[in-house]
Structures are given as structure tokens and as C-alpha cells.
Amino acid sequence: SVDMATPILRSSNAVILIGKTIARQPSRCISHKRIVEKTLRYGVPISIVASASMAAYLLVSKRPLTVLAKRPTKEMRDAAIREDREEAEHTMHLTQRERRFIRFASVEYEGQLYMTPEDFLESLTESEPRPRLHRHHLSKKELDHMLEQTPARKYGSTKLFRDLRERGIISYTEYLFLLSVLTKPQSGFRIAFNMFDTDGNQRVDKQEFLVVLQILVAALFFKKSGKLGLFTDVPPDVEDGESKDYNIVDTTLLVHLFGKKGSDTLRYDDFHRFMDNLQTEVLELEFTEFSRGMPTISEVDFARILLRYTYIHSANYEAYIDRVKDRIPEEK
């Protein structure tokens, strides 16, 4: 008898195997002998023809069963090497803040890099961004949906950025502005407001905010970093003190401060409240990180927080920390 576990009609080899199995165990039944003879006579040739037909199909078919990956040509490899080399050369001339923004920015829209509110907070508290395969390319529909969810200024709080998480965008110019807010004492809030209030009417509108913000940044970085997608939102004529008919991309910060239509204005109290809320939010975030659920943090952890906003050489970092550790017993 034939072993039922033997594959049947899977290939020509299977048919030959079955035929040999049957031939080694001849049956006395006349009907059975006829089946064996027909199998050996017709089964093997038919299976061979079927296998040949399948091979021919695979050779001429326009829809192959398996698609092999195309090997990169020498031109493709050379182009990739040139691109990596150019990017490395640009990166060598970037400032520390530019490099940090590029590393943490997880969103791209119309060729320009943006941080999300979550990216911004992580850039303050983490040494490296979370692993990701690539930046997310925002569509116009996705951006509009984000901005629709941006809370109005009257709903601002000390959890604004934490609540928004990835639902928002922050440009590089705004990133520098927010960093300056974090390092500015409260006594400097009025000076900052007067700097934006170019017409002296004790109100800052969207146009004034954009022009001053862009002039301050463009004077230092625009010519050098334009190719990296950091300043495509800066108008070419910004140094003239005007922002003429130029398509400025609305961001989360602009919508929050000046409304969805861009017609709201900032009084000093509004400006002060926003800056104070931002400082409080970041301090709470950093305290929570170092306290590990406890109501206090150590002197050394407090020193580490302060050093985050001080640009010192990495070789001197531990020296500052050791100095703090040495002085703690004396002060206690």
C-alpha cells in the first residue's frame, strides 16, 4: 500500500516516488495493476510537462512570483556618498543650537523642519531624541487639523506643551525665542515686550512679532543655514524691517498667541503670563525628572539642571559637578 503521508502530485518527483513505491509492492488485483501501469505510463510524462510549463511561465511572465531587489549601481552609490558628504560639511558649520534642533525636529512641512511641542520639551530634558525611522512629512490637511486643536491664549496654562504633545509645530526661529524666554529673568520680560512693540502702542500684533523675531535670527543665521531647511519661512526682505506679501506658515505658537485668524494682539500681561507659564512648565518637568517621585531634589541634581542652559565644554562638565559635591558637606 502507499504511505498516505507521502505528498501526492506536488511535483514530478512526487509522482515518480509514488510509482516506485507501488512497483516495489505489486498487487495481485488486476484493476490495481492497470492503475499502476497508467500511473507509470502517463503520470510521469504529464508531471514533467506541467513542471516545464510552469518554468516557461516564470521565464516569460510579466508578473513574476518573486521580485528581486535591484542592486544599486555605481552611480547610485556615488550619489549617496556625495549627499552624505555635503550634509556632513553643512553640519560642521552649524551652531550647537542648530544641530540640536535638527536632531530633535521630527516633522517636515513644505521643505522646512519643525519641532512638535513634545520634541521641544525633549530637547530640553534629553541628550538624544527618541529613535525614529524618518521625519513625518505633514500634509496641509494634517497641519490644519493640528492648528484647529491649538488652545486660545486665554486657555494657556503651565501644561500647554505637555498637553499638545505631537499635535503642533514649532519653527527654528520660535525655538530660539522659546529658549531665550527660559533663560530670561522676570525683570527682563518688560524689556522683551517693548522690543516687540515697535510702534509703542502697548500692544504686539502678529506682524510686529514676526518681523522682530525674524530680524533677530536672520542677522545671525539666515545666510548660513538656508539650505538646511531651517529658515525657509524667513522673507528675503526681512532685513528691511518689513514682511511684505510672503507666505508665512502659521504655527502652533502663532495661533496660540494671535488667534486662528491672526488678528489678536498681545498686551504686556498676556506676554508676561505666557513667558511665566513656559518657565514654570519646564521647571516642573525637570523637577519631576530628577525627583523620581520625591518632594525634593539633591543639590547635585539642581546643578545639573542649571548646567543644561550653560554652554560649557564637555570636559569641564564633571569638574563643575565635582566642585558642587565638594562644597556640600561644608555648607551643611
- Say if residue 269 is exposed, middle or buried (CB neighbours under 10 Å; 0-12, 13-18, 19+): exposed
> How many whole angstroms separate alpha carbon 268 and alpha carbon 189?
9
Q: Convert the pLDDT of each residue in 35-46 to its tens digit.
A: 555 554 555 444
Q: Residue 136 half-sphere exposure, CB side, CA atoms within 13 Å?
A: 17
pLDDT of residue 71: 61
Q: Please say if the pLDDT value at position 107 is more than 90.
A: yes
Predicted confidence (pLDDT) per residue in 192-213, tens digit: 899 899 889 999 999 999 988 8
Q: What is the mean pLDDT of residues 95-119?
A: 92
Res 120 pLDDT > 70: yes
Q: How far apart are CA 288 and CA 301, in angstroms?
A: 11
The answer to whether residues 172 and 230 touch, using CB atoms and an 8 Å cutoff, is yes
Query: What are the two backbone dihedrals, phi and then psi, of residue 222, each rounded to the nearest 5 degrees?
Result: -60, -50
Q: What is the pLDDT of residue 79?
A: 67
What is the pLDDT confidence band of residue 133, given thresholds at 50, 70 and 90? confident
Which pLDDT score is estimated for 290?
A: 81
At residue 138 the predicted structure's pLDDT band, cuts being 50, 70 and 90, is very high
Say if residues 113 and 172 touch (Cβ distance below 8 Å): yes
Can you give the pTM of this predicted structure? 0.63
Cβ atoms of 137 and 159 closer than 8 Å: no
Q: Considering only CA atoms, which of 118, 101, 105, 87 is closest in space to residue 221?
A: 101
- In this prediction, residue 132 carries a pLDDT of 82
Backbone φ and ψ of 203, nearest 5°: -140, 145
Mean pLDDT computed over every residue of the chain:
74
The string of pLDDT tens digits covering residues 175-191 is: 999 998 888 888 888 98
